[in-house]
Structure 1
């Protein structure tokens, strides 16, 4: 197993039918709010990465059949302060977007050391709070995505 993270990750937007969105605050970066994110491990399918990250970061027992693969990926430059986690010379990450609808605003069990707080917010407010442009855009696309699923 490599000591470096793979530059392939998932973004999972957890939400309710009435568009309450779960955000997590990073432990080492107070004020940095985001949806569930995480890097793919070697040999792991992206859907399995999404399930694992939801379970690890929130304690919510997600199963693959519940996740919606948006068939959307974003490529972005990795923040300089986090590049040490990747192999030398790696500057870009490819993020794959998923969503997971919950019946209610579940209680969350945060991953120790990774996140310090969580909140469920209306989608527009959640988008405004995200530090990541790709996370913000995914949340803003949520109403359209849900409408498309109902057709």
Structure 2
């Protein structure tokens, strides 16, 4: 039997509006655990920006596009996705460690921000998430179970910029 392990390199994507409202999603495997979009690289060759684009679509249905976005189709310009150049190294919770190769105990998380023009309704992957909510950024930070997610959200005001 071939076992495929998760790569211990992930993205955290904070999705927010110019009003500093933040989208949070509730984990299906841990009800009550709220977070921004997260996910691991599919392969070591997958660029982190591609991981971020893929995970945003898989977890919310929001499509990040190179062409002119159509908000009615929940599309956002790729120019709205910003690598915040923040890297967090943390110990993988024991409850999720079985997903990684034996002996892997730490993950490196790369933080991105995605400013959207409006509070899009999201399409959740039911096996991954139970619910979603838009909250003012300080309330969103308080609701997150992850300290790296909380810290990223609290840095949001310094990343706010005009949309392209």
TM-score (norm 1): 0.94
1:101 aligns with 2:115: yes
2:54 to 41, 52, 55: 52
The offset of 1:2, in angstroms, is 6.0
1:5-16 matches, cutoff 5 A:
5-16=6-17
Q: Secondary structure at the match of 1:90?
A: coil
Q: Is the 8 A contact 2:25 2:133 kept in 1?
A: yes
CA drift of 1:44 comes to 0.5
Q: Secondary structure at the match of 1:62?
A: strand
TM-score (norm 2): 0.87
Tell me which residue corresponds to 2:20. 19
Equivalent runs, 1:29-48 vs 2, <5 Å = 29-42=30-43, 43-48=45-50
The 1:44–1:127 alpha-carbon spacing in structure 2 relative to 1, beyond 3 Å, is same
Larger relative helix fraction: 1
Q: Secondary structure at the match of 2:63?
A: coil
- 2 CA distance for matches of 1:2 and 1:29? 24
CA contact (8 A) 2:27 2:33 kept: yes
Greater than 2 Å deviation, 4+ residue runs: 63-66
Is this contact kept in 1: 2:26–2:32, CA < 8 A?
A: yes
Aligned length: 148
Note the residue ranges of structure 2 that are not aligned, 5 or more in a row.
66-77
